[in-house]
Amino acid sequence: MEPRDLSTHSPYVPGRGVEEVARDLGIDPAELIKLSSNENPHGASPKAVAAIRDHAAGISVYPKASHADLTARLAERWDVDDEQVWLSPGADGSIDYLSRATLEPDDRILVPEPGFAYYGMSARYHHGEVNTYGLSPTDGFEQTAEAVLSAYAGERIVYVTSPHNPSGSVMPLAEVRALADATAPDTLVVVDEAYGEFARTDSAVTLLADRDDVAVLRTFSKAYGLAGLRVGYAVVPEAWADAYARVNTPFAASELACRAALAALDDDDHVETSVETARWAREYIASDLDAETYDSAGNFVLAEVGDADRVAEAAQREGVIVRDCTSFGLPSCVRISTGTRAGTREAVARLNETLADLGLGAHA
């Protein structure tokens, strides 16, 4: 007995963890600055951590009240009906729910290239196929309706990542609207706003007020610092209300995830500090790193370093973990997550030394 033929499925390759790298290098994990997974350098909201402690004893029951409360709270925040908020284990879970809710076998989705791997993975799990549209370094990965439409061929879902991972570019709302207008009525435009808090553009949730062909993904993993808990959600059109109950994994977000997310939503200080620091740090990296960078609206910066594999490897020996973007199809780029102010300054100094040592970088 074997699993089905999974040879066309490729595994998700995450950034390397601190413990893993420290063990390899034989050093204390505390010496490492990990800027490879776009995590929150300030950690989780202290209120979320307290909520987890307070509710630890409650985990013997299924999360009914907390799930409903978090859903209601998010619906209020976005001014939509409760049924339009689909809680999930991370935003990744919502990608699966949207696949399940839309794809018949052999239906196709359209995703950005370079882009986030999980869109395609999820579609393939659900017996769908994947086409791509290109975003190009030569124009700063500019995102326009036209760029997407030039590759569009009636796919069932079109994914837009705004801010885009790994480049940090955004698609302005007018372009999202133009894209949704131009695609077929049975094409869903999914705007992935995993990094939405860090951007200065409005959320595409506003478009749902008068249309039924746009959905938005949001997560607690980035600005809220709850990546380890796995909680995110989709905001879907009103017409989709009853699909959730038919496609979700029962009790999609755990008791502690729901409690922590509710508490994090009440911790404005933590989110504001996180967003402010990320905005400062992305400017700092752009101005002080000895390499060309792309404008980013996220908590990370994509940098042209010539040889990503060598630079990431050498930087790691200097105690800085960055994301080699070869797996995104960008072998000359590394993606550097924003750290704390001190962590970012230190990381940029070490990266500049690394670049100089390798004879790479803008001032080489």
Ligand X SMILES: *Cc1c(COP(=O)(O)O)cnc(C)c1O
Query: Residues in the site for ligand X, rule: CB under 6 A?
Result: 90-92, 116, 161, 165, 192, 194, 219, 221, 227, 232
- By beta-carbon proximity to ligand X, the closer residue of 109 and 194 is 194
- By beta-carbon proximity to ligand X, the closer residue of 90 and 319 is 90
Distance CA(270)–CA(159), nearest Å, equals: 30
Beta strands 157-161 and 188-192 are parallel
Return all residues near 69 (Cβ < 8 A) that are at least 6 apart.
258, 262
The three-point CA angle 182-186-190 to 5° equals: 75
- By beta-carbon proximity to ligand X, the closer residue of 219 and 316 is 219
DSSP per-residue letters across 98-157 = HHHHHPPTT-EEEEEES--THHHHHHHHTT-EEEEEE--GGGTT---HHHHHTT-SS-SE
- By beta-carbon proximity to ligand X, the closer residue of 169 and 219 is 219
Q: How far is the CB of 319 from ligand X (least distance, A)?
A: 24
- By beta-carbon proximity to ligand X, the closer residue of 84 and 221 is 221
Return all residues near 253 (Cβ < 8 A) that are at least 6 apart.
63, 67, 70, 87, 88, 89, 230, 231, 261
Q: Helix 308-317 and helix 341-358: axis angle, to 10°?
A: 120
Q: How far is the CB of 355 from ligand X (least distance, A)?
A: 25
Q: Are 61 and 203 in contact (CB under 8 A)?
A: no
Q: How far is the CB of 364 from ligand X (least distance, A)?
A: 31
Q: How far is the CB of 255 from ligand X (least distance, A)?
A: 18
Q: How far is the CB of 216 from ligand X (least distance, A)?
A: 12
- In terms of Cα–Cα distance, which of 110, 58, 211 is closest to 69? 58
- What tokens appear for 133 in the block? 């549209």
The three-point CA angle 67-72-76 to 5° equals: 150
Going across the sheet that includes 85-88, the strands are 85-88, 232-235, 214-219, 188-192, 157-161, 108-113, 129-134
Q: How far is the CB of 27 from ligand X (least distance, A)?
A: 27
Q: How far is the CB of 217 from ligand X (least distance, A)?
A: 6
Distance CA(136)–CA(157), nearest Å, equals: 21
- By beta-carbon proximity to ligand X, the closer residue of 84 and 219 is 219
- By beta-carbon proximity to ligand X, the closer residue of 99 and 354 is 99
- By beta-carbon proximity to ligand X, the closer residue of 89 and 172 is 89
The residue sitting closest to ligand X, measured at its beta carbon, is 90
Q: How far is the CB of 115 from ligand X (least distance, A)?
A: 8
Burial of 114 (0-12, 13-18, 19+ CB in 10 A): buried
